[in-house]
Amino acid sequence: MRVAAVDCGTNSIRLLIADIEDGRLHDVHREMRIVRLGEGVDATGEFAPAALGRTRAALTDYAELMREHDVHRVRMVATSAARDAGNRKEFFAMTSEVLGSVVPGSVAEVISGTEEAALSFRGAVGELDDALGPFVVVDLGGGSTEVVVGGTASGTAEVTASFSANIGCVRLRERCLHSDPPTADEIAEARAVARDGLLQALRVVPVEGARTWVGVAGTMTTLAALAQGMTTYDPAAIHLSRVGFDDLLRVCEDLVAMTYRQRAALGPMHEGRVDVIGGGAIVVEELARELRSRAGITELVVSEHDILDGIALSIA
């Protein structure tokens, strides 16, 4: 069965067209665009008209790809920004019109942080050896960060506990990191916000028994590319790569201190992440310190497969 999965987050909208066979995905097409749907939502509580317009343009192109590839079923999910926005009806009307042109009746659905965590976990650990578990999977997005603990048995993912914290790279950038480069006071404020959100998560999610930390989404994959010294982004080399904490923390510290122009000059850096990755790096730093202290974990495994893969698998 050929399916299409769309993940619409605070910063990006992503498409996966895949064939499902025996419970496994065979990629046909993957694509990501930065649309910053959640721009200003933290402050205003509503989607901006320009953000809705950018998202519609990207989704319209995705719908054309679905038609070209003869997709049979579609599932689109929206996450943190859509949970927070008061004018969600405008977003739903737009997605219904665009997706309905491919598969009648299709519309985006806003999922809870719990379901977001479960889908991320399923997508992230599908290729990992059961013996490496229990896993702590962290999906660091633009508006929220999901922390999930669980394991796998015979290829089936089982979540033990999860929490969706209202911290993310876009939210921290808009709330705290205003200068270029950020001032010491701004960085300290961002760390405090990140730490508070993570401590809420870690009171609910028992990471102490985890053996492997798996990080997903754009901040994590970009950090892995920079730690490996890549001059261009290479998803095949990033997928399931391992980054020791010394290298990870060095890259994070450098990014937080850089100017916009310095970050933009980094080869693997997507232009849509330049202004927000400093906030993501702060969350990763705080996570690394907590996981080393609580679970003795000393490296990050980075996966290119994440909630998008979980969405596609959920369609079957």
Coil, strand or helix: which one is 173?
helix
**What integer pLDDT is reported at residue 187 of this predicted model?**
97
Q: Which helix (H) or strand (E) holds 163?
A: strand 156-165
CATH 3.30.420.150 is the classification of domain 126-307: yes
**What integer pLDDT is reported at residue 253 of this predicted model?**
97
**What integer pLDDT is reported at residue 18 of this predicted model?**
96
Residues of the chain with pLDDT under 50: none
Q: Which residues contact 35 (CB under 8 A, 6 or more apart)?
A: 11, 12, 13, 51, 54, 55, 57, 58
**What integer pLDDT is reported at residue 38 of this predicted model?**
87
Q: At what angle do helices 113-125 and 307-315 cross, to 10 degrees?
A: 90
The residue behind tokens 């909630």 is 307
Amino acid letter at 298? T
* Fold matches, 2-110 and 126-307: yes
At the topology level, CATH places domain 2-110 in Nucleotidyltransferase; domain 5 (3.30.420)
Q: Domain ranges in the chain?
A: 2-110, 126-307
**What integer pLDDT is reported at residue 116 of this predicted model?**
86
Contact at 8 Å (CB) between 231 and 266? no
